[in-house]
Amino acid sequence: MEYIEVAIRDEFIRLGQAMKLAGILSLGSDIKYEIVDGKVKVNGQVEERRGRKLHKGDVFTYQGQDYKIV
């Protein structure tokens, strides 16, 4: 499985921030609605909280593309 890597410097990053960092959407409000509408998965499970903490090794999926926190 191929991932797009999202590099972080800190211990964790919040889901909304990770999506913005990955260049998925530029507006936080657009990201919020995509998450709340159940269009994002974290480690294979639908996640509806944009504040969900992601740590290195976590994978989120949006529109069939996987992104791995590294």
Q: How far apart are CA 9 and CA 62, in angstroms?
A: 22
- pLDDT at 69 (0 to 100): 98
What's the pLDDT tens digit per position in 23-36? 998 888 999 999 99
| pLDDT on residue 28 | 87
Q: Is the distance from CB of 38 to CB of 46 less than 8 angstroms?
A: yes
Mean pLDDT in each 10-residue stretch from start to end of the chain (70 residues)?
Answer: 93 96 91 96 96 97 97
Question: What integer pLDDT is reported at residue 56 of this predicted model?
Answer: 97
Helix residue ranges per DSSP H, 1-70: 15-21, 28-36
**To which residue do tokens 């797009």 refer?**
4
- Amino acid 15: pLDDT: 96
* pLDDT value, residue 19: 96
Which of 59, 62, 55 lies closest to 3 in space, CA to CA? 59
- pTM score, two decimals? 0.93
